[in-house]
Amino acid sequence: MSPIVRRSSCLVASLGCLVAAGFAADYPYQPVPFTAVKVTGGFWQTRQEINRTVTVPFALQQCEESGRLKNFDLAAETMHRRAAGEEHFQTVPPTLYPFDDTDAYKAIEGAAYVLSMQKDATLEKRLDGWIARIAAAQEPDGYLYTFRTMHPDSPGHKWVGEKRWEKDPELSHELYDAGHLYEAGVAYFQATGKRSLLDVCLKNAELLWRDFGDGKYRLAPGHEIVEMGLVKLYRVTRDQRWLKLAQVFLDARGPGGPEYNQRHKRVVDQDEAVGHAVRANYLYSGMADVAALTGDERYESAIKKIWNNVAGKKLYLTGGVGARTNGEAYGTDYELPADGYNETCAAIALMMWNHRMFLLTGDARYMDVFERTVFNGFLGGVSVSGDRFFYPNPLAYDGVKKNNHGFAGRAPWFGCACCPPNLMRTLASLSGYFYAVRDDALYVNFYADNAGEATIAGTRVAMVQTTDYPWQGKVRLTLTPSTPARFILRVRIPEWAQGKPVPSDLYAYEDAARNGWKVSVAGAEVAAAPDHGYVSITREWRAGDAVDIDFSMPVHRVAGNVHIAATRGRVALERGPVVYCVEEAGHNGPLAGLVVPATAGITPEPQPGFLGGVTVLSINGSSVAAPVTAIPYFSWNNRGLAPMTVWLPDGAK
Ligand SMILES: [Zn+2]
């Protein structure tokens, strides 16, 4: 879509657009920010509360105890002592990786999102202390990268170059650090109104502008995210240079580099997801941002092709991506082994990318993938207790292997600790994915207990959802416009409710006929079929109007595409958006020899007191005499080490 098309559609459309006139183009579908939508109960409130009360303090403590904050102090100390005359003073970094700075940035970002929803003077004071230590480590010209600053005469780590930036296309992560810094700085500014960290960001961005802004020093960031960070700086400052820099970094990629970090082709020529999956998904998210803000259709066209490749050939049933442990990378088409890697960060980056694809296109299938990932491949990354984590998220486990970065089972923290603070920031801001607005239409993308507010064609509208989703399919959405107003409500009907687990032929239900859903307004059923995944209701809405959405939630048997070796002769179970697994724990016997034929009876059973409150599946008529219990995949390994599998032998030929 060109910016001209967007502008003209604005002119004919609505008051909302006129209010926005004068600002640059952005996504045509605008998310209702998480700060305007509060999770009020149910499934996600439980998890957000654990995130706020357990994960956030735990992650802050881990950052402090592991030396990640000390890195900033040592960088500052080195600068001071050298300025005072100790010309050879330098320190060896006490932590493992030059990207350790980003764990602190992501923790600040996550904590800032928590502060946005709930004031907490103690937490804010603690973060202010962190920010002062970070600011003190920034060099006078804006450079901020503790591993070089504390060891300036020679590289203090093998990934760090002799000169600034020169090893960034490989592994120095200088620009990766900058990207997470910007995301944190913007988050903290928006949460508190304090410019302290934002000013550090802008001083750093000025340096990037001096070094890269004219495009002469072409450098492709080795680990993408600075593109998204710069876009956030642009949105908050409206300084065009930051958007331009994001584009400069995108356009510096390829051709002729390694696939590992997507430098093999120019980004606009890429059509397949390759290489390190977190890097890849951050890149595609950055391309979506720049496509939205510049109207450059080439980025959009490329990421649509790449997305088709992922959804059609490289997506796990759990919404995880990045099958290979080696290089934490996407595999080839249909390379989806049961013990695939599926880094938690790759799932989070996939959610970011899919949300952006929706914001570009208004198509619900992107939110379908988002939903699959959030309930399965993402949520499995954190324990029910909130303080144990998975880095990889395989769909089968032998109960023994130390596959979690040296740990067997969930771990409290990692030497490379990218995943826990990434989970924390995503959970804290999850309600930002629930709703979106375009012109005179409100999009409902996610089902959870919440109370929110949006402006639709100039009218303030309060939305309240009550539901027991994902355990039950009934959702009541109540709308209260400030005055009666005519607008369009678009309600997402997930593909799983329409008989397809994913928007491709990668997986299929063996029993699609049992699906069903119903939407009604004030008791009257809406007959419309979904268009791009949405049922639309246009009417004059009045205070308290209720929309009831009812998805039937039968248990589904899922088959994998014949090209996936690991799923042949096997079946997976899911109900609603939740994928199940069988874990050899509790009263369940050995997994070896377990066969679940098509004749097995499978019954959902709510168990509010089990694994944080879940609905399990009771399987009768398997090859094992006693009933077997399947649990939600996301809740595995909360009962000690045990074998687990998602794909169960079905006994068929
Ligand atoms: Zn990670």
Cα 472 from Cα 482, distance rounded (Å) = 31
Burial class (CB in 10 A: 0-12, 13-18, 19+), 525: exposed
The CA 573 to ligand 1 mean position distance, Å, reads 27
How many Å lie between the centroid of ligand 1 and the Cα of residue 347?
9
Report the separation in Å between the CA atom of 39 and the middle of ligand 1, taken as the mean of its atom positions. 26
The alpha carbon of 389 and the centre of ligand 1 are apart by a number of angstroms equal to 10
Low-confidence ranges of the chain (pLDDT < 70): 1-24, 512-513, 653
pLDDT in tens, 272-328: 999 999 999 999 999 999 999 999 999 999 999 999 999 999 999 999 999 999 999
Distance 348 CA to ligand 1 centre (A): 9
- What's the CA-to-centroid distance between 328 and ligand 1, angstroms? 10
> CA–CA separation, 149 vs 155, rounded Å?
10
Gap from CA of 346 to ligand 1 centroid (Å): 7
The Å distance, Cα 280 to ligand 1 centre, comes to 13
Distance 510 CA to ligand 1 centre (A): 34
> What is the distance in A from the centroid of ligand 1 to the CA of 18?
41
Torsion of CA 305, 310, 314, 317, to 10 degrees: -150
Output the CA angle 33-37-40, nearest 5 degrees. Answer: 155
Q: Evaluate whether 439 touches 19 at the Cβ level (below 8 Å).
A: no
Distance 284 CA to ligand 1 centre (A): 17
What is the pLDDT at residue 513? Answer: 66
Closest CA to 135 of 228, 191, 73: 73
pLDDT at 311: 98
* Contact indicator for 606, 585 with CB cutoff of 8 Å: no
Find the angle CA(167)-CA(173)-CA(175) to the nearest 5 degrees.
100
Question: 419 C-alpha vs ligand 1 centroid, how far in Å?
Answer: 4
User: Which two tokens mark 576?
Assistant: 């609603």
Given the structure tokens 């009263």, which residue do they identify? 587
State the distance from the centre of ligand 1 to the C-alpha of 210, rounded, in angstroms: 31
Tell me, in angstroms, the distance from the centre of ligand 1 to residue 44's CA.
Answer: 22
Q: Are 521 and 475 in contact (CB under 8 A)?
A: no
Q: What is the pLDDT of residue 564?
A: 98
Pairing of strands 485-492, 441-444: parallel
CB-proximal residues (5 Å) to ion ligand 1: 343, 345, 418-419
Distance 546 CA to ligand 1 centre (A): 41
Q: At what angle do helices 344-361 and 419-428 cross, to 10 degrees?
A: 40
Ligand 1 center to residue 424 CA distance, Å?
12
Q: What helix, strand, coil percent values describe the chain, rounded to 5? A: 40, 20, 40
Distance, in Å, from the CA atom of 108 to the CA atom of 127, rounded to the nearest integer, reads: 7
pLDDT for the residue 511: 80
CA 529 remoteness from chain centre: 30
How far apart, in whole angstroms, are the C-alpha atoms of residue 326 and residue 403? Answer: 12
The full 3-state SS of 210-240, as one line of letters, equals HHHCCCCCCCCCCCCCHHHHHHHHHHHHCCH
DSSP conformation class of 438: E
Ligand 1 centre and the CA of 139: distance in Å? 28
In angstroms, what is the span from residue 391 Cα to ligand 1's centroid?
6
Determine the distance separating the centroid of ligand 1 and the alpha carbon of 342, expressed in angstroms: 10
Quick one: tokens of 321?
A: 């991506």
C-alpha 520 – ligand 1 centre gap (Å): 42
Are the CB atoms for 449 and 42 separated by under 8 Å? yes
Residue type, 309: N
**580 Cα to the center of ligand 1, angstroms:** 23
In the reported structure, the alpha carbon of residue 374 is separated from the centroid of ligand 1 by a whole-number distance in angstroms of 15
- Is residue 450 classed as helix, strand or coil in its secondary structure? strand
pLDDT at 512: 66
Residues 412, 386: contact at Cβ < 8 Å? no
* Parallel, antiparallel or unpaired: strands 648-649 and 570-575: antiparallel
Helix or strand or coil: residue 638? coil
pLDDT digits (tens, 9 = 90+) for 595-640: 999 999 999 999 999 999 999 999 999 998 889 999 999 999 999 9
Q: What is the predicted pLDDT for the residue at 10?
A: 34
* 241 Cα: distance to centroid of ligand 1 (angstroms): 30
Cα separation, 414 vs 404, in Å, equals 9
